[in-house]
Amino acid sequence: MIEKRYIELMNKELDGVNAPDESAALRSFLASSEEARRMYDELRGVAGMFAAAGEVMPPPDMKRTIMASIAERGALRGARRAERRRFLDVLTPRMKVACSFAAGIAFGLVALIILLRAMPQDSGLDRKDLYGTLAGGRRAGAVIASKSVSIESGDISGLLTAEYRDNSLTVVLDLNAPREIEVVLSPAGRLPVESFSAPSCGAYDIRTDTAGVAVKAASSCRLTVTFRDEAGAHPSVNVAVSAGGSRIFEHTIVKGQR
């Protein structure tokens, strides 16, 4: 069971409102608890989905459809209310509960369909900046191996996580930094980039080549890079962080190695 205060710290961290000492406490807890890391990954996935969706414009005919529906329903509202009263009068309490439950499920399905139709099909990243196949950020399959490493170097701290799936490798890096940083991700085997997300990095530069990905950000940054691993080789990945022209952190993550 994960304490409520750590769940609150996870949500605040994803919202970018944690104080430095709160972020440090969360990173220490995540490094010690696999269950907490799974929950944090799930919360981060949901937050990433909404961040990747961005601002979505409704279909051009939506306004006309809604206004027409309002007008039609206004004319029938009185009659339908009377029908509902007569119907509810003959229902038992148990039947009323069952009807309410069914209505809730139907509403949820409609909301999900609208959300899926409104989400953009592209990740928003310029294709010329990447090689390989650009996906919409969807990472299919369960995590078969995961490892997290804390980063502490002077005024820069963070958490590095690598997730291995059957045919992909995802690297997630949360960095708290008051100055410009550069991150270089280099998976062995020269894997192509499938998707890239940096919703909290503000202005940043990204470079990709056959050796991996390099990202330069002005300060604190949370980024997620998914590499396509068609052969399921599950290679190691080297992560290097530099600040002010100096290397402050470097670590190679190997699947299955503690």
pLDDT tens across 60-96, in order?
A: 677 777 777 777 766 677 666 666 666 556 555 666 6
Question: Is residue 246 situated within a structural domain?
Answer: yes
Q: Which residue range is the domain that position 85 belongs to?
A: 62-118
Question: Is residue 11 situated within a structural domain?
Answer: no
Report the percent of the chain where pLDDT is more than 90: 18
Q: Are 131 and 246 within one domain?
A: yes
Confirm whether pTM is higher than 0.75: no
In the predicted structure, residue 20 carries a pLDDT above the cut 80: yes
Q: Are 136 and 226 within one domain?
A: yes
Total domain count, the chain:
2
Question: Is residue 222 situated within a structural domain?
Answer: yes
Give the per-residue pLDDT at 219: 84
Starting from the edge strand earliest in sequence, which strands make up the sheet with 221-228, in order?
145-153, 156-165, 168-176, 221-228, 193-197
